[in-house]
C-alpha cells in the first residue's frame, strides 16, 4: 500500500480555504492509497472555547462529508482530525474515510495540558481500522508520549496474532518539543514491530510554531520519508523471524 503524508500550514480557522488547499494536492496523488493530514488540519489547532465554537461541526457536517466525498472521488482513504461537537461535548476526532463511504474514527485520548484538556472530552475507545489489508491504530498527537495506549495487544480472537500493523499519529506538535517527536516515532515503531505514520503541520498559529518532521517509520525504526509503500510481506517476515513480541508483558488497559 502506498501512503502519503501531507505536511502543510493550515490557515487559521479558515476551514473552507483549507479544504480547497488539501483537495488541490489530492488531485495530484493518483497512485496513493492512503492520505494522512495533520491534527486539526482544516482549522488549525484550536483549544479555547470561542475558537472551538467557531469551527466545531457535527459528524454529518461539511468537513466530514467532504472527506467522505474525496475518498469516493479519488478512490483512496483520507485520514485527519476534526473538531467535532457530539452530544453537547467537543472532541478532537481522528476521522478515517474509506472509498466505500465507510467512516472509522478515534477521539484523542490524552488531551494536552491546559486549554485542550479543559475544553475537550477525552476519547475512551482504542480504534483499529482495516484498509487495503493493513490494520491501522488511530491516535492523535500527545497520545504518542504514552506507550501503553500505543501498544500492540493480542487480538480479541486470541492466538498469537496482534491487533494492528501500523499506527497513524496526526499532530500539531510544537517546534520547541520536536526532539521528542523525532525520537518517539521510531521508538513506537521498534517496540511494537509496526509501521508508524507520523504527520505534523508546519508554519505558525497565534500560539506556537511547528517544524513538521513528518515521516513514515518502518518496523526497524528507519525513516522512509513522507511517501512510501507499506511492505506487509516484509513486516510479517520480520515479525516471524524476530519474535520479540512473544516476550511482551501482558496487561489490560483500564
3-state secondary structure 217-250: ECCCCCECCCEEECCHHHHHHHHHHCCHHHHCCC
- The pLDDT score that the predictor gives to residue 156 is 61
Q: How far apart are CA 191 and CA 212, in angstroms?
A: 23
Confidence of residue 247 (pLDDT cuts 50, 70, 90): confident
Under the banding of pLDDT at 50, 70 and 90, the label for residue 159 is low
Span 22-34, mean pLDDT? 96
Q: What sign has the CA pseudo-torsion 153, 89, 172, 67? A: positive
Catalytic positions, please? Answer: 39, 108, 141
- For the stretch 176-225, pLDDT in tens is 999 999 999 999 999 999 999 999 999 999 999 999 999 999 999 999 99
The string of pLDDT tens digits covering residues 56-110 is: 999 999 999 999 999 999 999 999 999 999 999 999 999 999 999 999 999 999 9
Q: State what percent of residues in the chain have pLDDT above 70.
A: 98
Tell me the pLDDT of the chain averaged across its residues.
Answer: 96
Higher pLDDT, 125 or 158: 125
Which one has a higher pLDDT value, 246 or 79?
Answer: 79
For the chain, counts of helices (H) and of strands (E): 7, 13
Per-residue pLDDT, 160: 60
> Which whole-number Å values give the CA distances from 30 to 10, 74, 215, 226, in the listed order?
23, 7, 20, 16
Domain ranges of the chain: 2-247
> CATH homologous superfamily for 2-247?
Carbon-nitrogen hydrolase (3.60.110.10)
Please report the pLDDT score of residue 153 as a whole number.
83
Q: Is the pLDDT of residue 30 over 70?
A: yes
Amino acid at each position: 500500500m502506498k501512503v502519503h503524508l501531507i505536511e502543510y500550514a493550515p490557515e487559521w480557522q479558515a476551514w473552507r480555504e483549507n479544504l480547497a488547499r488539501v483537495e488541490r494536492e489530492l488531485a495530484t496523488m493518483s497512485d496513493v492509497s492512503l492520505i494522512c493530514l495533520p491534527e486539526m488540519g482544516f482549522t488549525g489547532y484550536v483549544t479555547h472555547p470561542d475558537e472551538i465554537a467557531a469551527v466545531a461541526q457535527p459528524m454529518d457536517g461539511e468537513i466530514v462529508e467532504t472527506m467522505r466525498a474525496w475518498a469516493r472521488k479519488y478512490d483512496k482513504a483520507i485520514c485527519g482530525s476534526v473538531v467535532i461537537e457530539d452530544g453537547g461535548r467537543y472532541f478532537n476526532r481522528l476521522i478515517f474515510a474509506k472509498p466505500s463511504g465507510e467512516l472509522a474514527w478515534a477521539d484523542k485520548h490524552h488531551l494536552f495540558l491546559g486549554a485542550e484538556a479543559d475544553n475537550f472530552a477525552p476519547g475512551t475507545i482504542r480504534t483499529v481500522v482495516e484498509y487495503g489489508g493493513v490494520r491501522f491504530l488511530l491516535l492523535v498527537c500527545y497520545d504518542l508520549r504514552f506507550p501503553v495506549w500505543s501498544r500492540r495487544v493480542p487480538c480479541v480472537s486470541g492466538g498469537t496474532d496482534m491487533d494492528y500493523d501500523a499506527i497513524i499519529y496526526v499532530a500539531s506538535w510544537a517546534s520547541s518539543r520536536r526532539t521528542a517527536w523525532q525520537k518517539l516515532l521510531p521508538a513506537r515503531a521498534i517496540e511494537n514491530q509496526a509501521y508508524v505514520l507520523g504527520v505534523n503541520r508546519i508554519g505558525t498559529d497565534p500560539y506556537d510554531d511547528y517544524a513538521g518532521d513528518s515521516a513514515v517509520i518502518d518496523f526497524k525504526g528507519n525513516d522512509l520519508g513522507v511517501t512510501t509503500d507499506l511492505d506487509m510481506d516484509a513486516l510479517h517476515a520480520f515479525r516471524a523471524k524476530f519474535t520479540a513480541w512473544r516476550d511482551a508483558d501482558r496487561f489490560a488497559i483500564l
